[in-house]
Amino acid sequence: MPFTIEKAHGILVCPECHSVLVQDADALVCTNPIERLRYPVLDGIPRLLKVEADVLTQDAWQAVMVRAGRAAE
């Protein structure tokens, strides 16, 4: 059974800033415009470790927020 953010809504948050996470393909993205961290989901398991996260550019982060239906802050 693949991971979906709906299954973990209200439980998983960004470990760095505690902001909401949104799912984008095979990753979870922090909604904080300062952090902009993208955490991978590998084999259906979210890897919420900063050392495994990528920092998105502002443009890439905004594109994720648009796809997720969230207004960029």
SS3 13: strand
Contact 50, 37 (CB under 8 A): yes
C-alpha torsion 67→37→72→5, nearest 10: 50
Q: Specify the CATH class of 5-67 in words.
A: mainly beta
Extended strands (E) in 2-70: 21-24, 27-30, 37-42, 45-46, 54-55
Q: pLDDT tens per residue, the chain (73 residues)?
A: 566 666 666 688 999 999 999 999 999 999 999 999 999 999 888 999 999 999 999 999 999 999 999 875 4
